[in-house]
Amino acid sequence: MASSTLPGDFKPLSAIDKAQLQKKLRDIKYLIVDEKSMLGLRQLSWIDDRLREAFPNRNEEFFGGLNILLVGDFFQLPPVLQKPLYYDKEVQGVEIKGRNAYRRFDKTVFLKVAQRQRGDDQGAFRSALEELRLLQLSMESWKLLSSRVQAKLDDQEVAKFVNSLRVYATKDRVNEYNHYHLDRLGRPVIQVIAKNVGPGAAAAPDDKAGNLAKQIPVCIGARLMLTSNLWQPVGLCNGARGTVYDIAWAPGADPMRDPPCVIMREFDKYTGPIFLTTTDGRKIIPILPVDRDFLVGATLCTRTQFPLIVCYAITVHGHTTVQLFGHGWRGVSCGLGGEATYFAESQGSACWQFRRSISSENRPA
């Protein structure tokens, strides 16, 4: 069940939409909720209510009797405009229901071995991240992280990050940076407009419509990121990045009015079968539009769009929905602080993968 089936204010489903949800989830035994730190009490209450609708034979049980796994780290990003699950002061309304639902979780498993920052050579980085997580940074760790500030790196090291992903705190900074890099390509840019079905669907934000954008600026040579798991074993997973090779329309379509039917892409780490190989060795595959169902109020809507976004920069909250990081990844954190800094920098497997665009004057005591 995607977060897009949870509206801003919970409303019971219509009979038709309820029947569709019940059919969609009838064989589901486990629901895994990732990034639990970003889940608020109200949202957990909505999940509980929606699952009671989805499983009417068990609607007297929490979550409709479904097995729920909450995964994540409460020291990472908190929920937006909601009280976190661990909030221990007075709550009201649906927050009380959310707290009661959260208290039904009675088993906790701690994973204590860091898998991303492995090896003896990353011991100091692991220690720095653990201290940053607890806001108890030692002088040694502060010096280690400060060593990645741009002003302290030589020109050769800075040059390694020229094409790296930027991580910003706000959408405005992301949009500005992405627009700048698209403009630098010097190519015609088209806006791929999504097809929406249902009242209010066209106005739904991306994160409420299955992570499908209302419109995507695209041109040949643009760097785009996949926002859906299409074929994970070969690298077509949420967060996979690459470059646009070509854009094509269906026979008889008007490119001035109609959206393209396919975007031909090269992916950085794709290992599956290919559609064509260019003369310079690039492996090109087609990406097609996908459909996503979501709710506007209590009405089931659909959006059809390419599961892609421009990816010269993303927000730190955007990290929580994509798999960006791994061996060889490089990124630049720009103006982040608190939980955002810990979250962004803990995603790399080594300290050298980061460059910080500004320095912090908050030295440890």
Indicate the pLDDT class of residue 99, thresholds 50, 70 and 90: very high
pLDDT of residue 205: 92
pLDDT of residue 248: 97
User: Taking 50 as the threshold, does the pLDDT of residue 81 lie above it?
Assistant: yes
> Coil, strand or helix: which one is 280?
coil
Q: Is 324 exposed, middle or buried (0-12, 13-18, 19+ CB in 10 A)?
A: buried
pLDDT of residue 331: 56
pLDDT of residue 177: 93
The total of other beta-carbon atoms located within 10 Å of residue 196's CB is 20
pLDDT of residue 332: 63
Mean pLDDT confidence for 64-69: 96
Strands of the chain, DSSP E: 30-33, 67-70, 165-168, 190-193, 195-197, 215-218, 223-226, 241-248, 262-267, 276-277, 283-287, 290-296, 299-305, 308-310, 313-315, 331-334, 354-356
pLDDT of residue 364: 42
Report pTM. Answer: 0.71
Residue 232 contacts by C-beta under 8 Å, 6 or more apart in sequence?
Answer: none
CB 198 within 8 A of CB 364: no
User: Taking 60 as the threshold, does the pLDDT of residue 347 lie above it?
Assistant: no
pLDDT for 163-198, tens place per residue? 788 888 888 999 999 999 999 999 999 999 999 999
pLDDT of residue 318: 63
Q: Which of 188, 307, 290, 184 is nearest to 246 (CA)?
A: 188
Indicate the pLDDT class of residue 323, thresholds 50, 70 and 90: low
pLDDT of residue 121: 75
CB 190 within 8 A of CB 308: no
pLDDT for 111-168, tens place per residue? 887 776 677 777 888 888 888 888 888 999 888 888 888 888 888 888 888 778 888 8
Mean pLDDT confidence for 268-275: 94
Q: Which of 127, 304, 148 is nearest to 214 (CA)?
A: 304
**What percentage of the chain carries pLDDT values higher than 90?**
56
Distance from C-alpha of 88 to C-alpha of 37, rounded to nearest angstrom: 15
Q: Where are the domains of the chain?
A: 15-104, 171-315
User: Taking 90 as the threshold, does the pLDDT of residue 362 lie above it?
Assistant: no
